[in-house]
Amino acid sequence: MLNLVEAVSAEYVIRQSRFVVHAGPVANQAETLEFYDKHADPGASHNCWAWKLEQTHRFNDDGEPASTAGKPILAAIEGKKLGQVMVIVTRYFGGIKLGVGGLVRAYGGCASRCLDQAQVHEHHPVCQCLIEADFAYTGALHTALESCEATKTDETFVADGLQLQIEVRLDRLRKLQSLLRDGTRGSARIRRL
């Protein structure tokens, strides 16, 4: 998943209506409310928005015909494979009606063009795990961790072996489990914290 590095804004004029776009990174629903409060203009004709957090998303047409504003904004976010982001498109009506297709193209297009200007970085969700194993498998443990680019955050020696606290990308957890099972003949135990 890609995330925005920082907020970005842009302005477009389509058939005399002015569209101001604000896009920014958000970590949770509380931050989406703060972002909206900061960038929405109560004096504008419409403040349409969409956000996506992990597996959750929301959008709002703010008075435009159903699914002509918020949904196209969300489609622009998903088309760029972004997450943890909110986009607000504020419209100042210029006197010319755009029609349903025109609104979809305007809101989705403005959001997409603004997001094209944003700097992004790849984000990989991680999880914390505890691994317990016999001393005899210390080398195999460290080899498996290195192979999956897992980070050891703590190491404790106990009477019958060692315990490692690690951080590993979620998309590499199954590979790590498999390597530990094979490298320790099934004796290592791993559980998520």
pTM over 0.95? The answer is no
In this prediction, residue 72 carries a pLDDT of 98
pLDDT at 31 over 90: yes
| Token pair belonging to 43 | 């004096």
Residue 136 class from Cβ within 10 Å (0-12 exposed, 13-18 middle, 19+ buried)? Answer: exposed
Q: What share of the chain is helix, strand, coil (3-state, %, to 5)?
A: 35, 40, 30
Radius of gyration of the chain from its Cα atoms, rounded to whole angstroms: 24
What domains can you pick out in the chain, each with its CATH number?
A: 2-122 (3.30.230.30), 126-192 (3.30.70.240)
What is the rounded CA–CA span in Å between residue 183 and residue 140? Answer: 6
- Say if residue 57's pLDDT is above 90: yes
pLDDT band at residue 166, thresholds of 50, 70 and 90?
A: very high
- 3 in Cβ contact with 84 (< 8 Å): yes
pLDDT tens digits, 97-148? 999 999 999 999 999 999 999 999 887 888 999 999 999 999 999 999 999 9
User: Taking 90 as the threshold, does the pLDDT of residue 55 lie above it?
Assistant: no
Secondary structure of 129-147 as H, E, C letters: EEEEECHHHHHHHHHHHHH
> Residue 69 and residue 105: Cα distance in Å, rounded?
9
Is residue 1's pLDDT more than 90? no
> Could you identify the residue written with the tokens 């101001």?
20
